Amino acid sequence: MRRSYLLLPAVTLVLAACSGGASGSPAESGARTIQVNASDELRFAPAELTVSAGETVRFEVHNTGQIVHEFVIGDADVQAEHEMEMGDMASGMEMADEANAITLQPGETKTLEYTFEEAGELLAGCHEPGHYDAGMVATITVE
């Protein structure tokens, strides 16, 4: 009888670890995963994406290059604001990851889970100096 009391905490811990917590994993929550490459050619691949309104997408972004890149999701106003923030920052400073943005070091892969609330068009951009202006932007159509 005493041994069963000792096992109870261990069994509870194993069950809790397997449950995935309240939010669950992307597979459990129904999130679709989209692979995105950020290259030193200052491009995202794919450059055009289509998602559904209300859909949660898990972006796995891989920096295939040798320089730092960002992946920032938002409309044109969000992109312009982020561009200004990056310009105001001291050279060499890195933006902290946010709910709609990640910074990737060379060779690094990070994930960004984002829920698209309503139909329209959003952009994913990199705002490292000169990247966005050079075309490092992807179009996200939300249907």
Query: For 58-71, what is each residue's pLDDT tens digit?
Result: 999 999 999 999 99
Domain ranges of the chain: 25-142
User: What is the layout of strands, in order, in the sheet containing 120-125?
Assistant: 48-51, 137-142, 120-125, 69-74, 101-104
Round to whole Å and give the CA distance between 93 and 74: 22
Q: Which residue has the higher pLDDT, 14 or 139?
A: 139
pTM of the full predicted structure?
0.76
List the structure tokens of 51: 């998602």
Average pLDDT for the chain = 81
Name the CATH code of domain 25-142 (choices 3.40.50.880, 3.30.465.10, 2.160.10.10, 2.60.40.420).
Answer: 2.60.40.420
Does residue 88 have a pLDDT over 90? Answer: no
Round to whole Å and give the CA distance between 41 and 120: 28
Confidence of residue 141 (pLDDT cuts 50, 70, 90): very high
